[in-house]
Amino acid sequence: MNKLEGKTILITGGASGIGKIMVRLLLERNAKVIIWDINQEKIDETIAQFSNKGKVFGYHVDVSDIAQIQESAKRVKQEIGIVDVLINNAGIIVGKYFSEHTVSDISKTMEINASAPMHITKVFLDDMMEQNSGHICNIASSGGLVSNPKMSVYAASKWALIGWSDSLRLEMKQLNKKVNVTTIMPYYINTGMFDGVQSKIPILEPEATALTIVKAIEKNKKMLSIPGYIYRFTRFGQAIMSINIFDWFAGDVLGIYKTMEHFTGRKE
pLDDT tens figures, 133-173: 999 999 999 999 999 999 999 999 999 999 999 999 999 99
Which of the residues are catalytic? 154
- Residue 225 is predicted with a pLDDT of 96
Cα(134)–Cα(127) distance, integer angstroms: 9
Which CATH fold topology does 8-258 show? Rossmann fold (3.40.50)
Strands of the 8-12 sheet, one edge to the other: 56-60, 32-37, 8-12, 85-88, 134-139, 179-186, 223-226
Range of weakest confidence among 10-14, 153-157, 206-210, 226-230: 226-230
pTM of the model: 0.95
pLDDT greater than 90 at residue 267? no
Cα(9)–Cα(4) distance, integer angstroms: 9
Classify each residue of 131-165 as buried b or exposed e, where b means 16 or more C-beta atoms within 10 Å of its C-beta: eebbbbbbbbbbbbbbbbbbbbbbbbbbbbbbebb
Q: What phi-psi label fits residue 17: left (phi over 0), alpha (psi between -120 and 50 degrees) or beta?
A: left
Closest CA to 143 of 231, 205, 221, 18: 231
